[in-house]
A and B are shown apart, each in its own frame.
Chain A
Amino acid sequence: MARYDSLLDACGGTPLVGLPRLSPVVPEGAPPVRLWAKLEDRNPTGSIKDRAALFMVRRAESDGRLRPGDTILEPTSGNTGISLAMVAKLRGYRLVCVMPENVSTERVQLLRMYGAEIIFSPAAGGSNQAVATAKQISAEHPDWVMLYQYGNEANARAHFETTGPELLQDLPTITHFVAGLGTTGTLMGTGRYLREKVDGIQIVAAEPRYGELVYGLRNIDEGYVPELYDATVLTRRFSVGTRDAVLRTRQLVEVEGIFAGFSTGAILHAALAVAHEAVRDGRRADVAFVVCDGGWKYLSTGAYGGTLADAEEALEGQLWA
């Protein structure tokens, strides 16, 4: 398991580690309730998005949409951009990312380092504008391939074929799977696989609840639900606020030594909620949750130190997951 032909072959196969200190204490004689962390920061570029990027590119290749030397276009400056840049480099494609012009220089540097080219959209329009810009550029360059992770079935398929089977192999007694809800690919793919294999499995979504500015941008009639989302795959869906996400992110590194990003904190918060319910009901539980990425990229927010109120303020108005 330690030798691979290339970095792409080292995607997935991440460790599942127990959290003996964070798992709730059960009364004597009661069935065990255990938390397990799937360390997706151990992927080639340090996030769970490597799986989706690799599958989306391979699918486009097998469909004949992508041919050697082609250009891939994606509106992202986050983990998916970094993953796609790495995959594009190794598979021989050019990657163009669209993002608002005032994104942090750290992000721009990281993407350029991996070989991505960047097209900036006007900052004032936010994410809607960047998506609109990406669509316009796509129309001007019909030969460029937009993988569009929110609606690309290969995104969910990556987790159906890899994340799900890995979890079941490492934890055949799994009772709950908890992950973050963004593109919804992780939950849809892993959730469908585990529902097929494990009777009564609970598929639990943790959705970040941001500061007001984020929602202030949206008119309800212009809302957005990713095309991949199918509510029937989920058992429950929790909304986790900034303060709880920060609290759990800090707890995870303080108590168990796992240094993760804030989306992981939100997921852990939901995982602890279902674990404590199991204790209360006297049920056995093996709760596996996703560590999406490490905390390195978020250090500059300052939210790992100081009071929780300071951290909450530092993240106010940011899409921190």
Chain B
Amino acid sequence: MAIEVRIPTILRTYTGGAKVVEGAGDTLGDLLTDLDSRHGGLRARLVTDAGVLHRFVNVYVNDEDVRFLGALDAKLNDGDSVTILPAVAGGAFGFAAAAAIASHGAAAAVVPPSVTPRAVVR
């Protein structure tokens, strides 16, 4: 049974850089265990020691949030598509961030958040 899993950039160190990997399992929990057998360490980044999904991780089955489908017990079927994403703030802040990201691209990702702001009132 093949389920396509989309891996976010930040976790591709566990998949040898692969954006999409395949796995199997009747539930999301089974799928993550299966993936961990080939991509060691991945599961621990997604599931806490308490056995629940990490607060800042969102997982979607066919574009629907698994937390509303039973979380790790969510049922999976052959051909399903699973997407893993980090939680981000959207909404009203969008366009400011958009401009920053669009102009600086991936370079923005390596700037530490501790960089001294040079705020200027114009």
A residues near B (Cβ < 8 Å) are 49, 75-81, 96, 98-100, 102-104, 107, 117-133, 136-137, 149-150, 180-184, 205, 207-210, 212-226, 231, 234-241, 317-321
Contacts and interface: CB of A to CB of B under 8 A. Distances in A.
Given A119-B120, A223-B87, A237-B65, A132 B58 contact: no
Given A121-B117, A216-B9, A217-B109, A231 B87 contact: no
Contact of B63 (A79, A121, A235, A239): A239
Contacts of B86: 215, 218-220, 223
B83 interface: yes
Contact of A235 (B10, B68, B93, B103): B68
A78 B94 contact: yes
A213 B8 CA distance: 10
23 contacts: A76-B92, A77-B93, A78-B91, A78-B96, A103-B95, A104-B95, A119-B119, A124-B115, A125-B111, A127-B89, A127-B97, A128-B113, A130-B93, A137-B119, A182-B94, A212-B8, A214-B101, A217-B101, A222-B56, A223-B55, A223-B56, A225-B55, A241-B63
Contacts of A118: 121-122
A124 B117 contact: no
Interface in B39-97: 45, 54-58, 60, 63-65, 67-68, 83, 85-97
B88 A214 contact: yes
A217 B97 CA distance: 11
Interface of B: 8-11, 45, 54-58, 60, 63-65, 67-68, 83, 85-109, 111, 113, 115, 117-122
Contacts of A99: 96
Contacts, number: 219
A317 B98 CA distance: 7
Interface SS of A by simple majority: mixed
A319 B9 contact: no
Contacts of A182: 89-92, 94
Given A124-B115, A214-B88, A225 B56 contact: yes
Contact of B57 (A125, A128, A136, A220): A220
A61 B86 CA distance: 36
B38 to A, nearest CB: 20
A123 B100 contact: yes
Max chain B Cβ within 10 angstroms of own Cβ: one of A98, A184, A319: A319
